Structure 1
Amino acid sequence: MEKMLGISDSLLFEAPAKSLMLAQEAYKMTGNSLYLKGTASLIMGKVYQQQRDYYTARKHYLESLELRRKWGSPDLIGVTMLALSENNAHLHHFDEAIGYARQAVDLIRKTGNELGLSMAYMQLASTHSWAYSTAKSRDMLTPRFSTDSALHYYKLAEQYEHQPDQKAWLHYGIGITYIHREDSAAVPYLEKAVAIRRKLGQLYLLIDAMQFLGRAQVYRKDYLTAEKLLDEAYGLYKSHTLDDDFLLSKIAFSNVLLHQATKSYKKAFEWLLTGNKTRDRRLLDDREGAISQLTVHYETEKKEALLKQRETELARQREMLGYERKIKWIMFGSLVLAIGTLGMVFYLYRKNRELSLHNATLVKEQNHRIKNNLQRLSSLMDLQLRKLTSRETRSLLQENVNRVQTIGLLHRHLNNTTRLSISMPLYLETLVEGLKDIYIIPGLRIDYRIAPVVLPSQQAMSLGLIVNEVVTNAFKHAFPKATSPQLEIILSRSDTGCHLQISDNGQSEIVAASPESIGLQLILLLARELKAVHRLSQENGTVFDLKFPLL
């Protein structure tokens, strides 16, 4: 892709502005292709690195590495790691630089790509050489970085075939390593590099190689050749108006070494001033560039922060709209569910009401029929009673008639209500008053103290039959001998149940009656049905107590 865009190493050095423009256009044209985007990011990194904006270059290199890892080609990943190695070397992060270079060697070795492996060894070598030179200038030499290590890796790279450009870099690298040693052994390697650069027409790289070759000739003490090389290099620089302070500072330093060696101190001083001016300009440019970059970064971060804030606000608005929609749907669903539930409840209520009314009608009809049947039975028994002449037989039959009428009275009350329960005050008073009309007792006074108790029909029937038996016994046996007959009926209610008490002031024979008496047996049977406790006592008359629980 670099060749397609025309961005060669020579163009990167000689026309950085054009290189940047081409790289930016390439980056925009990549679309969604991971391969093209990764390659364009790598080129952008190279352009910024040539402009000595190493941190921006690093950002593009890391982006390229991430994209190429997704693409999955070990060769391409290795090439990007080599670029990151060189970038870290420029930043003097030599340990990281060597780490990236070694990773690249391991990756590319697996693919069998000899050219790529040679480039990886060359990067390892140049990093060791550069680290040695930096440590030497700071008087901080360390065994971790040495020219021997650099030359070792260059020798490994030499065993592979190279294109002319790569061969020039190899010779240049070996020559620079010897330069760092101040060793004239650099001369033959740099001569080869100069010859290749001249043949390829790579002006910037040619001038750079020539000034290093001139420096190597100084170490060889061939000052005449050194002066010719340095003059030619400076002449090419001026004639092509390259305007590169970094390259000019290298030429100046090599000339200072030459004129110091030849004791031409005036010229050495002039070149030293040129080098210092160049260095000052570079420092000023770097400072202004750093300020400009910081300003751009600040404005960019500010815009990104505003965009992020707007995106956050939009996301919150979308989230709130989503919540509102959900709430509306929930409310709508709840409303539909509530309407459906109300409809179902109303439907069930109507059905239940219809069923209840139907059942009530059936019960009422049943009670009505039972009441009519009991009335017929009572009428038949009355007819039979009129034909009997035996007093004892008439008494027994009358008691049975009373019992039938007691049951009939209960069904008459049930027939007048929709409930299957009986109000005891009305029922018991009606029952006793009916018995009073049958057994006419002169001067009889009846006191009712009946609490407003409502009992289920079954309990009410059992209690009514018991009252019928006790009151009938009092009318028959107690009051005929009493001068001022008095009957008291009390029904009270508590938390545990009901208490019935019937007392008279006569002398009843029920206490002394035989256990085989039908009335007494009926009372005992009905008391068991009510799960009641009863007691008969004789205290100024007869007192009957009955306590039973409520159902």
Structure 2
Amino acid sequence: MFRFTSCFLLLVGWLCIVSESQAQEHPGLRVNPARIQHVRQLEAKALREKDSLLLAESWYLFGEQYQEVGNYQSAHPYFLKALKILEPRGDSYELVKLYVRLSETEQRQSHFQESLHYALTARQVAQRIGSIKGLAIAYRMLGHIRQFIWNGQGTKAEYDSIFFCYKESERLSTLIQDTLKIAEANAFIGALLLRDKAKQSIPYLTKALNLFTLKNDIEWQVRILIHLSTVYQRLGNLRLAWEYISEADHLYASRRLNEHGIRAMIAGCFLTYYEQTHQWEKALDQHRKLTDLEGKRLWADREGALSRLSIEYETAKKEALLKAQKQEIDLRNKALENQQRFIVATTLFSILAVIASIFFYKLYRKNQRINYRNEELLKEQNHRVKNNLQVISSLLNLQSKRLSDKNAKKAVEESRLRIESMALLHRKLYDGDKLAQVDLDEFVRELVQGVLRSYGYDQILPEFEIDAGYLTADKAVPLGLVINELTTNACKYAFPYTVLPRFTIRCHRHKNKIELTVEDNGPGIENAEVSRLVLVQDDRLPNTRKASFGMSLIQSQVVQLNGTSRFVSGSENQSSGTVFTMMFTVS
């Protein structure tokens, strides 16, 4: 029975020595309202000023307050929230402390692997930043969690590793002359030796007690006194055991401590002492106290679990609300960005459109000026050509009047008429509404009437059947020369031999072809035969008579038009006279 009770007391001691507060929260062991109020004010200030570091500090203090009263389920979420802020900022001593706190909460909830992970991480961060103080607390926590995993059943190598961590924590604490950390390291070494080497634990526990007394740390003094009482009980020195446990109980009561873990340690220590001294009634009384404390602990666990679930629910609800708000803000920001991009794009497009409009407007005005100038130059050129043609016509007319030879006078007059037809064409081409195009009907009528007037046949009224349309200069010039020659021939060889002269001109368009027909009622061409005009005259060919200048001119103009033509005269014509037909292509 003594052996079992001693083991139980030792286990309770290990559970309580890790930090300054080791109990689960239960009725009567609540967090300090004043401290909680202070921390809440700190959190509100951090949120108001949007200070993330201050917010992380407030959450750390929240977790610390809950951890001190043993409510590890409530402390753990606050430490994790603080970690989310500090971890992205890089390594620091505050991050080491936070990892150590998380290791403690995981260890208290029997999550040993998670606790070991946090302890190792704390040591790595402390090593990276070269923090001796951080390494001291990290080694202390690392030794403590390894001691829980070892639990007296592991290998000697594991035991040595635990002892090394505690000794390293003591050494580092001595370097920085941190009295409390030195005392804590000695207390942990003493608790480790208490299991199998009780006598060797006395110097470490005594040193820890002296240092804690120097620093007036009452809770740690009570814990060390209990451990010393346990040591002397195991060594059989019941007098010293009673002195230490009585002093611990008196110190706890006089300072009105309210620590569940320490109260359980005192009751357990009294229980083993009464069992050794065979004071069974007092032992039973202490056993009842332990049972009552365990019941309160279980009740606190239940309340803590409910509180944790409530906090987790509220936290999840707030996080869901924050997530929804964040999504809404992101959507608004995205819509605002798209709107801004659209405005920028529209503005740029408008600016480009204005610039392009100005550029094209200036280009249009420039082209207008160029076109106007070219038109003026073309009109000036045409005017000079008309003047030159008129001068030539006048010179030929003067020359004709001075000639006495009838044939020469006749040749000059015919040349003058040809020049007149070209002058008329230029006037029609460049004086009309359409530049470089001539109205076919108007051009043909004026040309024919001009020739008739020159030969004194202005009383003859020609018959015109001409489709409406326009011809370009390259087609109008050859056509005008052909009509001029045909009209001249009619005046010379048809009208003098007819009582009632008749002259007909037809010009019809068939898709992209124009058909010209010129007909008179004269005696016809002597020995005319129906044939296509020969494109080339060759004097070496037998039975070939050389064509006149007029006929050669007609031939050359038909060729220039890429057309075909023929004369019909005499018996092949239904009526007397000559009929000329020509077909050519226009665009």
TM-score by length of 2: 0.71
Q: Which amino acid aligns with 1:427?
A: F
Aligned to 1:459: 475
Query: RMSD of aligned C-alpha atoms?
Result: 4.8
| Alpha-carbon offset, residue 44 of structure 1 | 5.7
Q: Bigger relative contact order, structure 1 or 2, given CA contacts below 8 A and separation 6+?
A: 2
* AA partner of residue 62 (structure 1): L
CA distance in 1, matches of 2:297, 2:554: 128
Shift of 1:152: 3.8
For residues 78 and 301 of structure 1, what CA distance do their matches in structure 2 show? 27
Corresponding residue for residue 5 of structure 1:
none
Q: Are residue 492 (structure 1) and residue 529 (structure 2) matched?
A: no
Q: 443-452 vs 32-41, which deviates more? A: 32-41
Secondary structure of 1:463 counterpart = helix
Q: Which residue of 2 aligns with 1:430?
A: 446
Query: Residues 183, 60 of structure 1: CA spacing in aligned structure 2 closer, same or farther, 3 A cutoff?
Result: farther
With over 3 angstroms needed to count, the CA separation of the structure-2 counterparts of 1:365 and 1:120, relative to structure 1, is closer
**Partner residue, 2:435:** 419
**SS of 2:416's equivalent?**
helix
Q: Which amino acid aligns with 2:80?
A: K
Matches within 5 A, 1:360-379: 360-379=375-394
1:238 is paired with a residue whose SS is helix
Q: Does 1:129 align with 2:129?
A: no
Code of the residue aligned with 2:438 in structure 1: it is: I
Say if 2:76 and 2:102, in contact at 8 Å, map to a contact too: no
CA distance in 2, matches of 1:217, 1:482: 169
Deviates more, 1:101-110 or 1:410-419: 101-110
Q: Secondary structure at the match of 2:468?
A: coil
CA spacing shift, 1:425–1:16, aligned 2, 3 Å: same
Does residue 1:236 correspond to 2:251, yes or no? yes
1:246 CA drift (Å):
2.9
Q: Structure 2: give runs of 5+ residues left out of the alignment.
A: 1-18, 24-28, 538-544
Tell me whether 1:397 sits opposite 2:412 in the alignment: yes
1:129: how far off? Answer: 0.7
Q: 1:524 to 1:93 in 2, by over 3 A?
A: farther
Distance 1:115 1:499, change over 3 A: closer
Determine the C-alpha separation between the residues in 1 that align with 2:231 and 2:438. Answer: 131
Matching residue of 2:188: 173
1:3 aligns with none
In structure 1, which of residues 141, 144, 149 is the aligned counterpart of residue 161 of structure 2?
149
**1:404: Cα distance to partner?**
0.9
CA distance, structure 1, for counterparts of residue 350 and residue 129 of structure 2: 68
Matched with 1:548 is 585
1:283 aligns with 2:298: yes
CA contact (8 A) 1:490 1:501 kept: yes
**Whole-angstrom CA distance in 2 between matches of 1:219 and 1:232:** 18
Q: What do the CA deviations read for 1:404-439 (whole angstroms, capped 9, x no partner)?
A: 111111233232436232111211222223334445
Does residue 194 of structure 1 match 2:206? Answer: no
Change (3 A) 1:465 1:280: farther
Counterparts of 1:512-551 in structure 2 under 5 Å?
517-523=548-554, 525-527=556-558, 529-530=560-561, 532-536=562-566, 538=568, 540=573, 542-550=579-587
Letter in 2 for 1:176: A
Letter aligned with residue 119 of structure 2:
A
Counterpart amino acid of residue 239 in structure 1: S
Q: Distance in 1 between matches of 2:496 and 2:368?
A: 54
Q: What is the SS of the residue equivalent to 2:390?
A: helix
Are residues 181 and 19 of structure 1, via their aligned partners in 2, closer, same or farther at CA, if it must alter by over 3 Å? Answer: farther
Partner of 2:10: none
Structure 2 CA distance, aligned partners of 1:161 and 1:344? 81
Alpha-carbon distance change, 218 to 478 in structure 1, aligned in 2, over 3 angstroms: farther
2:399 match: 384
Cα separation, partners in 2 of 1:149 and 1:373, compared to 1, 3 Å: closer
Contact 1:478 1:507 in 2 (8 A): no
| Separation of aligned partners in 1, 2:119 and 2:161 | 14
What is the match of residue 66 of structure 1? Answer: 87
Q: Does 1:101 align with 2:119?
A: yes
Alpha-carbon separation, structure 2, partners of 1:64 and 1:362: 84
Q: Distance in 2 between matches of 1:220 and 1:517?
A: 161
Q: Which amino acid aligns with 1:431?
A: L
Deviation at 1:454, TM superposition (A): 1.7
Moved more, 19-28 or 199-208: 19-28
Aligned residues: 530
How many angstroms does 1:128 deviate by? Answer: 0.6
**1:246 and 2:283 correspond:** no
Cα deviation for residue 219 of structure 1 reads 4.0
Q: How far apart are residue 382 of structure 1 and its match?
A: 3.1
1:151-195 CA deviation, whole Å, 9 max, x = no partner?
243344455662442232122212333456696754554344334
On the 8 A contact 1:124/1:153 being kept in 2, the answer is yes
Write the distance in 1 (CA, Å) between the matches of 2:54 and 2:533: 120
Q: Structure 1 regions of 5+ residues with no counterpart?
A: 1-8
